[in-house]
Amino acid sequence: MPLRPLIIVLTLTGLTACAGGSPSTRLVDKHIESSTRSKFMFCSNFGCSVEWTVGLSTEEWDRVRGYFAEAAPDAAGERQQIAEAIGELERIVGKKTGTDKDRPGINQAILSFRSLEGQHDCIDEAHNTEVYLTFMERDGLLKWHTVGKAAHRGMIFDRWFHNTATVLEKDTGAAYVIDSWFGPNGVPADVTTLEAWLDGWEPPRYSKAED
């Protein structure tokens, strides 16, 4: 479909690239058991319309491990480590897939009439982040958290549809989102409570008008 008709369709339908069910159910559960750090599925181009087979070298994964080299004193500290490690993984994988120029937020790519090539919507971001989190958990890097199911918010009549990956505190069971959609490729993921996120939370720095 040409870009302009696609923009019109997505705008009128509430940007349905993020309107489906939980990306954990739709995507991650389908692939995660067979995924390894040396071979896994990476999503891009909105709704995982493009699937890449990607691998991480030992040296690349050691860069991720470096963020956890000093044990976090508490769960909040570990969430900051997670956020920074997600940014590192985006930088590594972005160069391999041509998604290193991914812009912050779906609206910027749509409303500025730019190509969708190499861009991510929230389904792509939630899937990729959950895969990364699963690798961290498998490698024993997470001491204070386990990986939760991806979360979904939004109704056509109140706010944009949106998806995100989550983690759960081991001690309390409290859920936190690890949302890599708001920022450009390679910056630390945004973190907040699931409760706040479901209520429409956005990071203070977020600006739909940024060019």
pLDDT at 113: 45
Count of structural domains, the chain:
1
C-alpha angle with apex 130: 85 to 89, nearest 5 degrees?
A: 30
Cα(70)–Cα(86) distance, rounded to whole angstroms?
17
In a domain, 82, yes or no: yes
pTM of the model: 0.82
Q: List average pLDDT for each run of 10 residues in the chain, which is 211 residues long.
A: 38 42 50 85 86 95 98 98 98 92 63 63 90 97 96 69 94 97 92 96 66 34
In a domain, 204, yes or no: no
Helix ranges (H only) for the chain are: 3-12, 23, 29-31, 58-65, 75-97, 106-111, 122-138, 194-198
Determine the structural domain holding residue 78 and report its residue range: 3-198
In a domain, 74, yes or no: yes
In a domain, 205, yes or no: no
In a domain, 162, yes or no: yes
Cα(123)–Cα(145) distance, rounded to whole angstroms?
22
pLDDT at 154: 78
In a domain, 105, yes or no: yes
195-to-86, 95, 186, 191, 198 alpha-carbon distances in Å: 22, 34, 26, 12, 5
3 state DSSP class of 27:
helix
In a domain, 210, yes or no: no
pLDDT at 47: 82
Here the tokens at position 159 are: 């706010």
pLDDT at 70: 96
pLDDT at 90: 95
In a domain, 28, yes or no: yes
